[in-house]
Structure 1
Amino acid sequence: MRLFIDHRTDYRFSEPQARIVQLLRLTPTSNEGQNIIDWRIDVDCNARLRRARDGFGNETHMLYIDGPIDRVTLSVTGEVLTDDRAGMLSGAVEPLPPMLYLQTTPATRPGAALDDFAEQVKAAGGSALSRAHRLNEALADRMTFDPGRHAGARDAASTFAEGHGACQDLAQVLVAAARAMGLPARYISGHRFSDVEGSKVQEATHAWAEVHVEDYGWIGFDPSTGRCPDDRYVRVAAALDFRGAAPLSGTRTGGGFEELEVGVRVGTSQAVVQ
């Protein structure tokens, strides 16, 4: 599938800022399931971008802006060719061993209830692959996906207790549960095209999880749909949890408060997303 992405972020500040520093995880890399045809980041002011790669293998950019400045707009546009590989990942940059992804973070602590849930899924038996699929399907049945909800700072245990959340919240729940079952798992941020009721645009970022299964490698699972990612997905960044794969994070020097507005459009035609 040929997908076009338009990701815009607007910062507005109540007082001029002296300096802004942001870490951007907005750029996908090619693998055997996706080929990046074109990708660019534009800033509507005098800024410096320094390209790098983080410890998880994600392509990053450090953004530096010297003030005074009271508003900034980041525009990310790209074209990606994708294949349906039934969630199986290969050809990606992998600087870390899978076993590292068994470690728990504050955001992915499962808590007693999610631990019990994971144990019930595991106790049903079967291969590691079948257990991973069963976990994804069970969470999709158990949890309610709130597509209009913004991801907050909730940990996996809190989301599981509430029974609903944004795709980012549900991805963290699956990561926590898989690790509780002894399966390495990581959080994935990216984009998903959804042709709902004839719509050609998906106005949201997306998130899912990847589980490492022996003899198969990394496989994607999306608990918001109960399925594996297909050619409608564009994989951008991987990490232990939401914080490590957040599209934007950073600091500013200056007083007052900030307003942040993010708009993401994913479509099958460049004309549609613009």
Structure 2
Amino acid sequence: MSVILRTNQLTKRYAHRTVVDHLSMTIHEGDIYGFIGKNGAGKTTLIRMITGLAAPDDGTILMFGSPDLPEGRKFTGTVIESPALYPGMTAKENLLAQYKLQGIRNESQADSILTLVGLDDAGTKKAKDFSLGMRQRLAIGIALIGNPKFLILDEPTNGLDPEGIKEIRDLILRLNHDRKITVLISSHILGELSKFATRYGIIHQGKLIDEFTEEQLIQRCSAPDGTPIMDLEDYFLKKIQGGI
């Protein structure tokens, strides 16, 4: 299985504070990689370095097996923090504007993207009148322009109600299963993340302190007879508190 992303000893400092500390992470093709940590642990800073929004102070990044990051980022779609949308435009107008900004002349997939993210019936409704869930799905739709192989989502379910959270989960699963897109998703809603992530990384105080698969999580959270004794949230809390 090929490696989509590998960081080696990646480090980022702000003044005298180390925010990401010699972090080495591996994401394989086909993963839905759940990246978890407390607020301020370094999740967003790491994502900003991967996407080119921040420069590392030390360490290396390989994307698709290559150190040519500008080339690798061409095949990467990203949603970081709040979606940046044109409030006075419809969903389709927002998509078409992004096509132009990215210099992509072939806009033939705009309608299929809207259908994929469940906004094909949004019609003339303006983005300023969208629910938060609709805005997040449109942001993901914009990230899909150019047919990325790798999708990075930073807290995409923040502030959503249960219906909105399920819509995002179902969308991520469709993208992963049907379009074969590898996904890195940071989230603090661990009960939700455990429903669909296939691999996990735990960051604590800037360091990656654990990395494990879905199968390994089940084993670690079960008694010898296979009976579940804790869930992802319990495991995470014990891990960062040094209890495991």
| TM-score greater than 0.5 by the shorter chain | no
* Greater RCO (Cα-Cα under 8 Å, separation 6 or more): 1
Q: When you count helix as a share of all residues, which structure comes out higher?
A: 2
TM-score for both structures, normalised by structure 1? 0.26
When you count strand as a share of all residues, which structure comes out higher?
Answer: 1
